[in-house]
Amino acid sequence: MSKVALVTGGSRGIGLGIARKLAEEGIALAINGVRDEESASAALDELRSLGVRVAYLQGNIAVKEDREAILEGLKSKFGKIDILVNNAGVAPRTRNDLFDISEEDYDHLMDINQKGTFFLTQGIAKWMAALKTETPEAELSIVNITSISATVASKIRASYCMSKASLSMFSKVLAVKMAEFGIPVYEIQPGVIETDMIEKVRETYHQGVKNGMTLEPRMGMPEDIGKVVAALVRGDLPYSTGQVLTVDGGMTIARM
Residues that are catalytic: 160
Mean pLDDT over residues 157-173, rounded? Answer: 97
pLDDT on residue 117: 98
pLDDT on residue 201: 85
pLDDT on residue 38: 97
SS3 73: helix
Q: How confident is the model at residue 173 (pLDDT cuts 50, 70, 90)?
A: very high
Mean pLDDT over residues 67-86, rounded? Answer: 98
Mean pLDDT over residues 75-98, rounded? Answer: 96
pLDDT on residue 200: 81
SS3 142: strand
Q: How far apart are the C-alpha atoms of 230 and 38, rounded to whole Å?
A: 27
Q: How confident is the model at residue 196 (pLDDT cuts 50, 70, 90)?
A: confident
Which of 124, 143, 121 is CA-nearest to residue 132? 124
Average pLDDT, the chain: 97
SS (H, E, C) 24-53: HCCCEEEEEECCCCCCCHHHHHHHHCCCCC
Please count the CA atoms within 13 angstroms of the CA of 64 that sit on its side-chain side.
0
Q: How far apart are the C-alpha atoms of 12 and 197, rounded to whole Å?
A: 10
Residues 10-55 have pLDDT tens digits of: 999 999 999 999 999 999 999 999 999 999 999 999 999 999 999 9
Q: How confident is the model at residue 90 (pLDDT cuts 50, 70, 90)?
A: very high
Q: How confident is the model at residue 222 (pLDDT cuts 50, 70, 90)?
A: very high
Mean pLDDT over residues 129-157, rounded? Answer: 97
Give the DSSP letter of residue 181.
G
Q: How many Cβ atoms from other residues are within 10 Å of residue 122's Cβ?
A: 12
pLDDT on residue 242: 98
CB within 8 Å of 198: residues ≥ 6 apart: 91, 192, 205
The pTM of the full predicted model, rounded to 2 decimals, is 0.97
SS3 246: strand
